[in-house]
Amino acid sequence: MSECKSRGNKNKFCTCTYEPCSRKGVCCDCLQYHLKSKELPACCFPPEEESKYDRSFQAFVNAWKIPRSK
């Protein structure tokens, strides 16, 4: 397995607003943590949904759902 490139680098493009998170900016740790919990990280959500802190797969689907034309 390759080394995490963002470890020790604290990715400046991280969109997570949960400040007390120890994984903030360390993408590989964040992704591993959330997937283990059957969730997705903040960077997968639009800002207005990310701030609700619901990282569930269903919240992801709802956030990106495109209304169907009738």
Q: What is the mean pLDDT of residues 13-24?
A: 90
pLDDT tens digits for range 25-38: 888 999 999 999 99
The overall average pLDDT reported for the chain is 87
Q: What is the mean pLDDT of residues 10-38?
A: 90
State how many domains the chain has.
Answer: 1
Instruction: Reduce the secondary structure of the chain to three states and give it as a string.
Output: CCCCCCCCCCCCCCCCCCCCCCCCCCHHHHHHHHHHCCECCHHHCCHHHHCCCCCEHHHHHHHHCCCCCC
Domain boundaries, position 59: 27-64
What pLDDT does 13 receive?
82
- The answer to whether residue 21 sits within a structural domain is no
Tokens (6 digits) for 38? 């059957």
- The answer to whether residue 3 sits within a structural domain is no
Q: What is the mean pLDDT of residues 15-24?
A: 91
